[in-house]
């Protein structure tokens, strides 16, 4: 039995020594592998950088910003001109830095399109509104029948983002719309395509725009992406440039704003401020506001809109009463203006703007995409009738 025990011990010792030898032999290889890992990672990063280098970038300034009222103003990405800073309240001025309603139209044959943009505000989202709507980009493509269809969007992940808007499409010359953020400002936006392709501007049709002035709803709260606010939907449906001068919580029909709007020369003024006005404000401000616009533009159609009704007003009596009193005050102002001889004045009722199923808002006030869809449909009928009347005159 003893020789067997010695043999067992000897075998164990041999296994142990073999393990040591293998470890000694493998250790340099392991070290080499560990040293190679950072190199491999760096290689991947370098490869990613090379991938970025495969795109050529066009600043949207080269394409022409649309949806902007004061085109020659030095503040390229501001909805109000520089001189407005000394005229309007601070809240209105601050909100004018948001690029709601701004877009570019371009043409390319590229099979992939990237967006690279830098925001002015690091707060990308709101508790009740997605970052894609507040701070994102939104891409549409023109179809063969002339209609526009959604194609891709840019998700913001920081104050400066690069995102593949669309890839894997066939090579063909197409027209695109790229909408800018609804509730954030921008320092720059660039469109990236493969060096084999070009990004070219699309000439403007030079027609007069429609000017919307209003509240957070007009500005686009709470659309999930910039192309889903009502003014963007209307622009595509009517094939019409629209200037969005919605100021969240601050569509108050102040004379200083009216004087600024009077500097523009639109096809139609659409005034949608009632959600930001109490009945006394309506009685005090609506008529002077319209008179300022009418003095500058005697023939331009002006629409006074009741805006939306609270989605829960069917059961919350206080909201129903507020809607009723505000609408009554606006209707009286409208009738007073007509009695004063004001021509080309139109009235937009609130009923049906958010649909009839109660699903049209995020919080009873601000529309979902569905709500904006319904609202655009109601406003479209009004605007089409007005435009038809202008053409027939």
Instruction: Convert the pLDDT of each residue in 313-322 to its tens digit.
Output: 889 999 999 9
Q: What is the pLDDT of residues 39-53, one digit of tens each?
A: 343 333 333 344 456
Q: How far is CA 29 from the centre of its chain?
A: 55
Label residue 391 by pLDDT band (50, 70, 90): confident
The CATH homologous superfamily to which domain 206-393 belongs is: SGNH hydrolase (3.40.50.1110)
DSSP-assigned letters across all residues of 286-352: HHHHHHHHHHH-TTS-EEEE--PPPTTTTT-HHHHHHHHHHHHHHHHHHHHHHHTT--SEEEE--TT
Q: What is the pLDDT of residues 207-220, one digit of tens each?
A: 999 999 999 999 99
Q: What is the pLDDT of residue 339?
A: 98
- The class of domain 53-83+103-204 in CATH terms is mainly beta
Distance CA 259, CA 261 (A): 6
Q: Look at 26-30, 62-66, 278-282 and tell me which has the smallest mean pLDDT.
A: 26-30
Q: How far is CA 45 from the centre of its chain?
A: 32
- What is the β-pairing status of strands 148-154 and 137-142? antiparallel
For residue 267, is pLDDT > 70? yes
The dihedral region occupied by 358, where left means phi > 0, alpha psi between -120 and 50, and beta the remainder, is left
Q: Look at 33-37, 96-100, 177-181 and tell me which has the smallest mean pLDDT.
A: 33-37
The answer to whether the Cα torsion of 209, 215, 218, 224 is positive or negative is positive
DSSP-assigned letters across all residues of 229-285: SHHHHHHHHHT--EEEEE-TT-----HHHHHHHHTS--SEEEEE-GGG--HHHHHHH
Q: What is the pLDDT of residue 245?
A: 98
The dihedral region occupied by 37, where left means phi > 0, alpha psi between -120 and 50, and beta the remainder, is alpha
Q: What is the pLDDT of residue 368?
A: 97
pTM listed for this prediction: 0.86
């Amino acid at each position: 039995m003893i020789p067997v025990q010695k043999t067992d011990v000897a075998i164990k010792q041999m296994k142990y020594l073999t393990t040591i030898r293998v470890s000694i032999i493998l250790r340099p290889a392991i070290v080499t592998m560990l040293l190679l890992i950072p190199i491999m990672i760096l290689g991947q990063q370098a490869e990613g950088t090379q991938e970025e280098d495969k795109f050529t970038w066009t600043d949207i300034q080269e394409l022409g910003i649309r949806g902007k009222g004061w085109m020659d103003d030095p503040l390229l990405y501001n909805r109000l001109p520089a001189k407005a800073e000394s005229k309007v309240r601070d809240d209105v001025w601050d909100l004018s830095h948001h690029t709601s309603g701004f877009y570019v139209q371009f043409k390319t044959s590229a099979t992939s399109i990237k967006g690279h943009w830098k925001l002015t505000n690091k707060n990308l989202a709101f508790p009740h509104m997605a970052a894609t709507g507040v701070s994102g980009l939104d891409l549409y493509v023109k179809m063969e029948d002339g209609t526009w269809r959604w194609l891709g969007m840019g998700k913001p992940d920081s104050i400066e983002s690069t995102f593949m808007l669309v890839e894997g499409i066939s090579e063909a010359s197409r027209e695109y719309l790229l909408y800018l953020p609804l509730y954030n400002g921008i320092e720059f936006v660039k469109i990236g395509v493969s060096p084999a392709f070009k990004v070219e501007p699309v000439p403007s049709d030079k027609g007069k725009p429609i000017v919307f002035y209003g509240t957070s709803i007009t500005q686009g709260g709470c659309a999930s992406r910039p192309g889903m606010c009502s003014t963007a939907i209307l622009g595509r449906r009517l094939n019409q440039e629209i200037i969005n001068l919605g100021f969240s919580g601050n569509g108050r029909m102040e004379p200083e704003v009216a004087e600024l709007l009077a500097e523009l020369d639109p096809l139609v003024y659409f005034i949608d401020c009632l959600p930001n006005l109490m009945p006394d404000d309506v009685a005090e401000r609506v008529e002077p506001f319209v008179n300022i616009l009418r003095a500058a533009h005697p023939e331009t159609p002006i629409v006074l809109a009741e805006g939306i009704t609270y989605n829960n007003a069917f059961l919350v009596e206080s909201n129903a009463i507020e809607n009723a009193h505000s609408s009554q005050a606006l209707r009286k102002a409208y009738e007073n203006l007509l009695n004063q001889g004001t021509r080309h004045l139109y009235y937009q009722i609130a009923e049906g703007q958010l649909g009839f199923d109660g699903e049209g808002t995020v919080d009873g006030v601000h529309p979902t995409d569905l709500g904006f869809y319904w609202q655009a449909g109601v406003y479209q009928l009004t605007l089409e009738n007005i435009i038809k009347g202008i053409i027939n005159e």
